[in-house]
Amino acid sequence: MNANSNIRPRIWTVTFVNLIFISLAATVVVDAVQAALPIYISNLLHRDAETLAGTLVTVFALAGIIPFLASGAISDRIGPRRVLLVGSAIFLIGCSGPILFQGVGALFIWRVFQGVGFAIVNVASAAATSMILPRERLGEGLGYFGVGQALAMALGPCLGLVIVEKASATSMWITLAGLTAAILAASFWSRCDVSAQPSALTEVRRETRSSMKGFFGLFLEKRAAIPSIMILILATGVCATIVFVGKYGQTLGFQAVGSFFVVMAASMLVSRFAMGTLMDKLAPTTILYPTLAFTALSFVMLAFVGNQYIFYLAGFPIGFGFGVATPLLASVAVKRSPRNRIGAANSMYYLCVNLGFGTGAFLGGIAIAKLGYSNAFLCGLACCLLPGIIAALFLRDSSTPDLELKREASLNNR
């Protein structure tokens, strides 16, 4: 036996840290806008804040559909770095425009630019991360990659709420434009186009070329469909909470409603470091079922919140649950896909996350308007139940299939 066979492959590199920063900064920008929109619209129009804010989030999500579909497949062909550069430039335009034009009509246009830019940056950074990480530490690495997103869950909403309440909308857009400029600079200096295992990549490309026929075969990876549908449903409930919980806390008369996001982000950080190594060792359903149950607890706490401390604490189960489920299902999607289809698998997965933002904001706004906040949060329980049912039907294997590892094992045994 090779003496080096028990040495764990390295994941912490300058490129990996750079990609974490890109993900963090992009998510901060998006979450800041999402949390500030209801208050921003209310200050701008003094009416119908929830419905219009939900519509603007939906516009953001819809604008990203085609970029989500295309950017992963393009990253597979030309490398993610150039895709990152294009996406971050578009993102910068979307966040700089509102500095000059802040009317509602103009805001719809800027939301389109933001949706397109974020979609490209999100998929390309995730695809780059999946390409540079060693396969046997993929779940752990994606968990650490999500640390940036976890921090953004606290920093983004708090940043948006504080600036829009204490300063002005212009100050918020100037700050966010500065962050998107930093994303563009980080993308320029990123070195993420080289696969960690080029020989294995070439081999898998030869064996899977025939599976890429047709439009959907080109842009989507069918092996990633089940985990993608599951995250779509879960993200719908979670993202509706992210968009409207700040306004909900204000309606209840609570102070410092941004504390909910701080608790949520802290629990996401705990989840990434506590569960990272287990994601590559245990069957997905072993982790997923209790995670979904724990997430559901947050919806119940928000529906029956009695005081502001319960309100703050409700951020813990939803943060921990979503913090575990997102990289867990992402690793399932990637591990089920051939190495040369990592970009397409990430496109499909993060497209569904993006759609979850859109459907969550849209349906959440309607549910709140028709049923009130408490009943709307109870409806969110279905977003935890349905992924569990899908997992019971389609993820019953004791281990996650990994096409490439099976091929490599067979080659090594010849």
CA distances from 311 to 19, 141, 324 (A): 33, 32, 21
Burial of 406 (0-12, 13-18, 19+ CB in 10 A): exposed
For residue 315, being part of any structural domain is answered with: yes
**Integer Cα distance of 231 and 153 in angstroms:** 17
CB 25 within 8 A of CB 251: no
Answer yes or no: is 290 within a domain.
Answer: yes
Q: What is the pLDDT of residue 397?
A: 53
Per-block mean pLDDT, blocks of 10 residues, the chain (414 long): 57 85 90 80 64 78 82 80 92 91 83 92 85 76 76 77 77 89 89 50 42 56 87 91 83 83 84 72 85 93 88 92 88 80 80 80 85 89 94 68 44 40
- Position 399 scores a pLDDT of 43
Give residue 273's pLDDT: 74
Cβ(97)–Cβ(109) below 8 Å: yes
As a dihedral over the C-alpha atoms of residue 381, residue 384, residue 387, residue 393, rounded to 10 degrees, the angle is -80
What values do phi and psi take at 257, rounded to 5?
A: -65, -20
Say which residues have a Cβ less than 8 Å from residue 157's Cβ, sequence separation at least 6: 31, 32, 34, 35, 36, 242, 246, 258, 261
The confidence score (pLDDT) of residue 96 equals 92
- CB within 8 A of 253, min separation 6: which ones? none
In a domain, 48, yes or no: yes
- The domain total for the chain is 1
Is 133 inside any structural domain?
A: yes
Please enumerate in sequence order all residues whose Cβ is within 8 A of that of 73, keeping only pairs 6 or more positions apart, or say none. Answer: 218, 219, 343, 344, 347
Instruction: Assess if residue 138 is contained within a domain.
Output: yes
Residue 207 lies in a domain: no
Q: Is residue 199 part of a domain?
A: no
Q: For residue 40, which amino acid is it? A: Y
Tell me the C-alpha distance between 24 and 182, whole Å.
11
- Long-range contacts of 309-313, Cβ-Cβ distance < 8 Å, separation of 24 or more: 311/249, 311/252, 311/254, 311/257, 311/260, 312/259, 312/260, 312/263, 313/263
6 found inside a domain: no
d(C-alpha 323, C-alpha 352), whole Å: 16
Structure tokens at 175: 């700050």
- Domain of 294, CATH number, reads 1.20.1250.20
Which residues span the domain enclosing 320?
A: 14-193+217-412
pLDDT at residue 106, as a whole number: 84
Distance CA 217, CA 69 (A): 11
Looking at residue 46, what is its pLDDT?
56
Cβ-Cβ contacts under 8 Å for 101 (sequence gap 6 or more)? 110
